Chains A and B, each alone.
Chain A
Amino acid sequence: MDPEDKICEEDTWIKSSSSHESCEPPNNQPLTSFDSLEQKMDGSSFLDYGTTFDEQFPGFNQPSVAHKINDKNPILGKHYNQMSEAQPSNKVEDWDPRAILNNLSFLEKKIHQLRDMVHLIVGRREQVMGQRDQLLVHQQQLITANLTSIIVQLISTAGSLLPSVNPTVSSSSAIGSLGHFGGVTNSSGFFPNSGIPNINNVNKVDLSNQTDLTGYCGAEQNCSVEDHELKSDDDADEGENLPPGSYEILQLEKEEILAPHTHFCTICGKGFKRDANLRMHMRGHGDKYKTPAALAKPSKESTSESMLIKRYSCPYVGCKRNKDHKKFQPLKTILCVKNHYKRTHCDKTYICSRCNAKKFSVLADLKTHEKHCGRDKWLCSCGTTFSRKDKLFGHISLFQGHTPAIPVDEPSDPGQSSEAPKVGQMDIDFKSSAPSGSAFQNAMDTKFSGDDSTSISQLNFDTSDSGFNEFPRPPFEDAGSSFSFLLSDAYGYPPKNGRYSNSNDLE
């Protein structure tokens, strides 16, 4: 097969995949962006994704018969359509595992196809050696496009479950798994009571947009829960009011707290962060560690009932969390101790690479911050940024002389913002790697991240060194004609409705 034919093939592929992700532009830009994303997979979240993704589908790696891609495509599209049409009629009050099963089998098929394609490529690569470079690029794009669509589908499947899942999330293990996409897929079994209507929504409406949003939601929820958890380290137990003496006070030493590993193999001395990993490791030391009883998680009941409630003290003398403090407030768990000690008594060694301003002593805090960094669009003249407008105004009303700073003026013509999706932005969050639908997100990012030089350079005017007064003059709106519109607007308010949809309020 000569290369031109292949390009045609690829085009149809892209088309067909864009039928799943209807917002995806026909050009290859988003794909290449994903490309660059893959290359920049040094961020830990991407590593997470990569590994979990691999782990998720180990069973699909058996070789199978190679199909012609063209033959497969229509079926694939049809299948998807059927599914999306079938879902709305499937409105069940309670969670329907069949829907999830449908989704999963669809994914399975897709992955099969993808693997077939990779096989095909592997086969061809040996045949055609001449036009390799160009081919390689196209092939890579093809695969990444498919991977993207699979991931999007995965997120949609899992993400649709999230809102109903949220109340049940309380343990840190569930929270942790939410952040990773592998964990999200698992959640179909994890949360058996989640509602189906969300899935319907996802399939009914523009899929790509929805999935992106749900992915976003998932991340948001994740971090908000995380935030809460972080705070609880220090504050939540204040209301606990355990009478002194009713619990056992443990105090770990500084070295213990800061040690990278907490679980050590009694045989070889190897350290682990997690007990589960230690248990897995122990298997290597003999058959007696391989019994289900030894591998199982030590059950909580047996330990907690027998023992007094444990509370922890901070080793730092003079700290409120130290047992010698007059108003001693104990810490609940070892994790609390660790986070508390690092936050309050250690240097902040993790610096945000995006803003180069915020420093953290706990890696998780940095990650949480990085999710929001640059999106704090409400800026004060003192340089402080706020994620919420009312927080900014509260700050300004408190301090003398602080004024709201006007961020980069909106791109002067509306068309400009629509062509704003940028490759450079793609590597910030995994969620923006679903190219379609994230354009808005990206546009927002660029608008307000004043210090992010890469994003600004994407805009057509150079703002990096000019003061506010030197910005390009915005075009005039027709003042005369807008008057009547304004009046009609004025009377168009909903009469008994406390909230207005303020067009300038992007939240």
Chain B
Amino acid sequence: MKKQKSIPEPNFNRFDLLSDEIVFLILDSLDDPLDKKSVSLVCKSLYAIESRHRKILKPLRSEHMKKNLIRYPFISHLDLSLCPVITDSSLGVISGYCKETLRSINLSRPRFFSHVGLSNLLVNCRNLVEIDLSNATNLKDLAAASIAEAKNLEKLWLVRCKSITDIGLGCIAVGCRKLKLLSLKWCFGVGDLGVGLIAVKCKEIRSLDLSYLPITNKCLFQVLELQHLEDLILEGCFGIDDDSLTALKQGCTSLETLDMSRCQNVSHIGLSSLTSAAGCLRQLSLSYGSQVDLALADSLQKLSMLQFIKLDGCQVTSSGLKAIGICCVSLTELSLSKCSGVTDEGLSSLVTKCVDLRKLDVTCCRTITYASVAHITNSCTSLTSLRMESCTMVSAEAFILIGQRCQFLEELDLTENNIDDEGLKSISRCSQLASLKLGICPNITDKGLIHIGNCCSKLIELDLYRSAEITDSSILAIARGCTLIETINIAYCKNITDRSLVSLSKCSKLNTLESRGCPLITSFGLAAIAMGCKQLTKLDIKKCQNIDDTGMVPLAYFSQNLRQINLSYTSVTDVGLLSLANIRCLQSMTVLHLECLTPSGLAAALLACGGLTKVKLPLSFKSLLPPPITEHLEYRGCVFQWRDKAFQTDYDPKSWKLQLTEEE
């Protein structure tokens, strides 16, 4: 600024040369919200331009709503899902300032508003096309009737609005004729009549979520007559069964995605009649449904376009898998997570046919071995995602094949596997790797992880939960090589010290750090993280006994984006807890087994942290905290979870592993 003043023409602002449009374009290309913030702080004109540029607002609290809306006059998308409290008066403020500019509003989390405020909002903001009212369990049919006033509405989420009945939905059906997306998941009050009316009145519907509704075939007939329906979710609709589906004259031709998971009463018979006309079906989910056998595979035969099948939790047979492989050759995505009956034979014959497979999930298919992995890696070389948590029969050599043959992998979940350093070395060839999960892999050491750190520069997420052999040198290599890392889990890696944290503090994008049960970590390391990782939003330092108040103070000062913290079993006292109140974003706090915590200190901290939405506290404090304080906090939108857990001393990792094997 001083330099500017030394320029001969002090009244001239160089940024005035840039037109608004150009600055808008520049702002468009800035992805990081912090960068935009920096821009706005440069000078008044940029501040004003940035204010006019911003379209999306996601406030943490509703108290400053008015100020925010005055500053940003062109907000079209308002996401209030982080606000714990939104009252009718806040909705009044929004409707007063946003008016016609508002196109989308998310009210999926906050409570305390009623149909009166909602009606006010919808009358004033007539251009609203998207409303998310999920979890508004208190809203009744009157609220639904006020939603019906939004004639231009195209997307509506009513997940878990259990008090809305057919009558309310009927109002919406009549009022919102342009609806394209509607989610009624868990709206238990809605039945055949309401859904049927939606299908009759809202002909534009593209996407319909009817999960867990007490509906039967009656309304399904009407729903399937929708001309544009592409996406239909019927998860857990127990009222739909084979008998009704076989009566179906014609299926929906436009359907692209069909989710029939947990439909216990639908077998291959019903499915085949449902899919007989749906020739362009691309995605199909039959999770937790009937047995996957030859008959079911036959019903998929007509679906030549099928790209994604999800069969999680099903009983599968080898012949069924083989037949799926034969009839669905264009498959790109397959999920067999937690399926029973997946054998080497079945899986191998399937993957040898589906060479285009991009994503494969064989989580907890415990019987597959090296043979399966060999076939997968041999035929599906373009795999981008492989999730094989808990495939304990797969031998260490198999993981070498993965690294050698599937070099496009971006996501790899090897939790609880027998992978060793040789495997890791091979996998480090997958240079695109963004997410790597190596939790509970007791055979890996620094030697293997250093290879990962050196080669996988695009790594964003790394999970080393209970991989007890690793030490600081791995983390050093990771922090040096994977600078984009955002999430790291080093829980119960007992050898990790402050050195690791200091090195991780160089990773400026780090937002999630889980270092539970690392006894060597101290406040010093935490301070380094706090200073280096400004984006930190989630921090778990449970059972880091050496962290005390001196770690909290820098955290409170530097980590202004921290939202969630777990402080259980640390040595933090009242002072440290109170200092955390400085973090204005802090929403969730777990404070169990803090020996030096007093009720008054806790009360003061809770009162000072204005944005808290969830606090987990020991049950013993429930009677010690003055009732007016808890009431006040609840009024502010804070939910208390009282826990009565016995003080645990951590298991020795070896004995923990032993316990795991006993359980199996």
Whether A474 lies near B114 (C-beta < 8 A) is: yes
B200 contacts A by Cβ under 8 Å: yes
Whether A476 lies near B239 (C-beta < 8 A) is: no
A409 contacts B by Cβ under 8 Å: yes
Q: Which residue of chain B is the closest to A401 with respect to CB atoms?
A: B174
Q: Which residue of chain B is the closest to A379 with respect to CB atoms?
A: B167
C-alpha spacing A495/B135, complex, angstroms: 26
Given known pairs A397-B196, A406-B145, A505-B191, the reply for A498 and B137 (CB within 8 Å) is no
Q: Which residue of chain B is the closest to A492 with respect to CB atoms?
A: B238
Among the stretches B158-166, B364-372, B449-457, B536-544, the one at the interface with A is B158-166
C-alpha spacing A397/B111, complex, angstroms: 33
Smallest CB–CB gap between A126 and chain B, Å?
61
A307 contacts B by Cβ under 8 Å: no
Q: Which residue of chain A is the closest to B211 with respect to CB atoms?
A: A490
Whether B196 lies near A403 (C-beta < 8 A) is: no
Smallest CB–CB gap between A391 and chain B, Å?
10
Whether A476 lies near B112 (C-beta < 8 A) is: yes
Whether A468 lies near B186 (C-beta < 8 A) is: no
Given known pairs A469-B146, A474-B140, A482-B162, the reply for A393 and B188 (CB within 8 Å) is no
Whether B200 lies near A397 (C-beta < 8 A) is: yes
Given known pairs A479-B135, A486-B160, A486-B162, the reply for A495 and B265 (CB within 8 Å) is yes
Whether B639 lies near A403 (C-beta < 8 A) is: no
Given known pairs A393-B166, A402-B174, A409-B142, the reply for A500 and B239 (CB within 8 Å) is yes
A115 contacts B by Cβ under 8 Å: no
B481 contacts A by Cβ under 8 Å: no
Residue among B138, B167, B241 making CB contact with A496, cutoff 8 Å: B241
B72 contacts A by Cβ under 8 Å: no
Q: Give B76-135 interface residues, CB cut-off 8 Å to A.
A: 111-112, 114-116, 119, 135
Q: Give A465-507 interface residues, CB cut-off 8 Å to B.
A: 468-469, 471, 473-477, 479-480, 482-483, 486, 489-491, 493-498, 500, 502-505
Smallest CB–CB gap between A262 and chain B, Å?
47
Residue among B112, B140, B193, B264 making CB contact with A390, cutoff 8 Å: B193
Smallest CB–CB gap between B401 and chain A, Å?
40
C-alpha spacing A246/B355, complex, angstroms: 81
C-alpha spacing A494/B216, complex, angstroms: 13
Whether B142 lies near A403 (C-beta < 8 A) is: no
Smallest CB–CB gap between A444 and chain B, Å?
16
- Interface size class on chain A is 35 or more
Residue among B137, B168, B170 making CB contact with A396, cutoff 8 Å: B170
Residue among B141, B163, B212 making CB contact with A490, cutoff 8 Å: B212
Smallest CB–CB gap between B238 and chain A, Å?
4
Residue among A393, A477, A495, A496 making CB contact with B193, cutoff 8 Å: A393
Smallest CB–CB gap between B402 and chain A, Å?
37
Q: Which residues of B contact A404 (CB under 8 A)?
A: 166-168, 170-171, 174
Q: Which residues of A contact B112 (CB under 8 A)?
A: 476
Whether B138 lies near A403 (C-beta < 8 A) is: no
C-alpha spacing A497/B145, complex, angstroms: 31
Whether A477 lies near B138 (C-beta < 8 A) is: yes
Smallest CB–CB gap between B39 and chain A, Å?
39
Q: Give B192-244 interface residues, CB cut-off 8 Å to A.
A: 193-194, 196-197, 200-201, 212, 214, 216, 236, 238-239, 241
Residue among A401, A480, A486 making CB contact with B188, cutoff 8 Å: A486
Q: Give A391-450 interface residues, CB cut-off 8 Å to B.
A: 393, 396-397, 401-404, 406, 409
C-alpha spacing A496/B238, complex, angstroms: 7
Smallest CB–CB gap between A472 and chain B, Å?
10
Given known pairs A393-B197, A409-B140, the reply for A493 and B214 (CB within 8 Å) is yes
Q: Which residue of chain B is the closest to A480 with respect to CB atoms?
A: B639
Whether A500 lies near B214 (C-beta < 8 A) is: yes
Whether A403 lies near B165 (C-beta < 8 A) is: no
Whether A479 lies near B119 (C-beta < 8 A) is: no
Whether B141 lies near A406 (C-beta < 8 A) is: yes
A389 contacts B by Cβ under 8 Å: yes
Whether A396 lies near B239 (C-beta < 8 A) is: no
Q: Which residue of chain B is the closest to A489 with respect to CB atoms?
A: B188
C-alpha spacing A475/B112, complex, angstroms: 9
Q: Which residues of B contact A406 (CB under 8 A)?
A: 141-142, 145, 167-168, 171
C-alpha spacing A500/B191, complex, angstroms: 9
C-alpha spacing A476/B165, complex, angstroms: 17
C-alpha spacing A494/B67, complex, angstroms: 52
Q: Which residues of B contact A469 (CB under 8 A)?
A: 115-116, 119, 142, 146
C-alpha spacing A503/B165, complex, angstroms: 10
Smallest CB–CB gap between B546 and chain A, Å?
34
Whether A474 lies near B238 (C-beta < 8 A) is: no
Whether B114 lies near A473 (C-beta < 8 A) is: yes
Q: Which residues of B contact A401 (CB under 8 A)?
A: 174
B551 contacts A by Cβ under 8 Å: no
B175 contacts A by Cβ under 8 Å: yes
C-alpha spacing A396/B175, complex, angstroms: 12
Q: Which residues of A contact B265 (CB under 8 A)?
A: 495-496
Smallest CB–CB gap between B623 and chain A, Å?
20
Whether A403 lies near B175 (C-beta < 8 A) is: yes
Q: Which residue of chain A is the closest to B235 with respect to CB atoms?
A: A490
Smallest CB–CB gap between B125 and chain A, Å?
16
Whether A498 lies near B241 (C-beta < 8 A) is: yes
Q: Which residues of B contact A498 (CB under 8 A)?
A: 216, 239, 241
B436 contacts A by Cβ under 8 Å: no
Smallest CB–CB gap between A477 and chain B, Å?
5
Q: Which residues of A contact B163 (CB under 8 A)?
A: 477
Q: Which residues of B contact A468 (CB under 8 A)?
A: 142, 145
Q: Which residue of chain B is the closest to A475 with respect to CB atoms?
A: B138
C-alpha spacing A269/B9, complex, angstroms: 123
C-alpha spacing A503/B191, complex, angstroms: 11
C-alpha spacing A378/B165, complex, angstroms: 13
B611 contacts A by Cβ under 8 Å: no
C-alpha spacing A479/B614, complex, angstroms: 13
Given known pairs A409-B142, A498-B216, the reply for A476 and B111 (CB within 8 Å) is yes
Q: Which residues of B contact A390 (CB under 8 A)?
A: 193
Q: Which residue of chain B is the closest to A500 with respect to CB atoms?
A: B214
Q: Which residues of B contact A482 (CB under 8 A)?
A: 137, 162
B477 contacts A by Cβ under 8 Å: no
Q: Which residues of B contact A486 (CB under 8 A)?
A: 160, 162, 186, 188
Interface flags, B175-189, vs A, CB<8A=1, else 0:
100000000001011
C-alpha spacing A496/B188, complex, angstroms: 18
C-alpha spacing A482/B136, complex, angstroms: 11
B60 contacts A by Cβ under 8 Å: no
Whether A474 lies near B196 (C-beta < 8 A) is: no
Given known pairs A490-B212, A495-B264, A504-B189, the reply for A477 and B201 (CB within 8 Å) is no
Mind listing 22 A-B residue pairs with CB under 8 Å?
A: A389-B193, A393-B196, A396-B170, A396-B197, A401-B174, A403-B175, A406-B168, A468-B142, A471-B142, A473-B114, A476-B112, A477-B163, A479-B111, A479-B135, A480-B639, A482-B162, A486-B160, A490-B188, A493-B214, A495-B238, A496-B241, A500-B214
> Which residues of B are in contact with A by a Cβ distance under 8 Å?
111-112, 114-116, 119, 135-138, 140-142, 145-146, 148, 160, 162-163, 165-168, 170-171, 174-175, 186, 188-189, 191, 193-194, 196-197, 200-201, 212, 214, 216, 236, 238-239, 241, 264-265, 639
Q: A401-B174, A469-B115, A486-B186 are in contact. List 8 more A-B contacts (CB 8 A).
A: A397-B196, A403-B145, A474-B138, A486-B160, A489-B188, A490-B212, A493-B214, A496-B238
Shortest Cβ-Cβ A-B pairs, 9 listed: A500-B214, A404-B170, A403-B174, A393-B193, A397-B200, A404-B167, A493-B238, A504-B165, A476-B138
